[in-house]
Amino acid sequence: MNIIDELKEFADLFNNYIASNITIESDNLSKASFHLLNSGGKRIRPFLTCKTFELFDDNIQNILPIATSCELIHNFTLLHDDIMDNDLTRHGVPTAHSIYGIPITILSGDILFAIAFSHISNNSKLLNFNVNRILKIINVLSAASITICNGQSDDLIMSNETQFRKPESYFNMISKKTAALFEASCKIGCIAGNGTSNDEKSLTNFGKNFGIAFQMIDDVIGVVGKKNVTGKPVGEDIVQGKKTYMISLALDSMNSEQKNLVLKIFGKKQASANQIIDAVNVISNTGVADIVREKAQIYTQNAMDSLDKYRDAESYSSLINLTDFLIKRNI
């Protein structure tokens, strides 16, 4: 089975679990909370939790409740991020706050955050995990949530600054905002599978490098991705004013006329379609997308190297194939 088919098969399993096991009493709150969950998604974070768990234990039913909590935290961040960025669509689907309003969408993120932790504790007896293991999992997920919030704060500050920071600031920010939950998802899978402390280090390193590469490729797609493939508006990161490594590199390689053309609409959501296309073409012609993908390849290779000792495990190939897919993806 190729990785696309495997992700789809897992997503079906995971979505059925969510539908059967997560309920919210208030109808309007439930609709807003499940809006993004019901609109699709590759479920990469819970997939990673399950596959790192399967390096040690092949009973996937024992990890689904934990993996679900990782995805709920992810959706909590998306709901709130869309409000902060005032985005009206996500992957071609209207955002929750554009349909249900900001107050109910804030609550929907809050309740997903709470359910994420209650779902772990409520299933602890069913999973037959001892108290220390459950507490460790909760601590990892809560620490990741704090890190994500700090990363989002950094991103907001950087977006409001007039100048681009050095690349180190960008990589520090995405390590917190994006990579932290990938890192936690993999570490949690290891803890749930009763891996050793050395296993935790290896799989934490895998998740962190995977997450950094994931965001770098996302940033490429956010500028030069095709809407019919990604579901995102063309040049989304340009009009959003995202100070990504991709855009920073592109601007550094431009002449003054090209730079002015891009900066004229940078952070301007009211920019015309023609202006956006012109800016995207200028950035595309710099060739920096290939440079970013090459640098992301370093992180994906570091991620793969962290898995070397698990070559005999059945889920090893799934993790390697997903990492390989990551660096080549256009969605």
Q: Are 70 and 117 in contact (CB under 8 A)?
A: no
Contact 175, 204 (CB under 8 A): no
Write down the mean pLDDT value for the chain.
94
Is the Cβ–Cβ distance between 45 and 74 less than 8 Å?
Answer: yes
Q: What is the pLDDT of residues 289-313, one digit of tens each?
A: 999 999 999 999 999 999 999 999 9
pLDDT digits (tens, 9 = 90+) for 63-104: 999 999 999 999 999 999 999 988 888 888 999 999 999 999
Quick: pLDDT tens for 204-263. Answer: 999 999 999 999 999 999 898 877 677 677 898 999 899 999 999 999 999 999 999 999
Helices 316-328 and 44-53 meet at what angle, rounded to 10? 150
Chain center to CA of 99: 23
pLDDT at 260: 95
The residue whose two tokens read 């799989």 is 203
Q: Is the pLDDT assigned to residue 19 strictly greater than 90?
A: yes
94 membership: H or E segment, kind and range: strand 93-94
3-class SS of residue 50: helix
**213 vs 313: CA distance, rounded Å:** 24
H helices of the chain, where? 3-21, 27-33, 35-38, 44-53, 64-85, 96-100, 102-122, 124-127, 131-160, 167-177, 179-192, 197-224, 227-230, 236-240, 245-252, 256-263, 273-286, 288-305, 316-328
What CA–CA distance (Å, rounded) separates 143 from 225?
33
245 close to 171: Cβ distance less than 8 angstroms: yes
Query: Residue 93 pairs with which residues in a beta bridge?
Result: 90
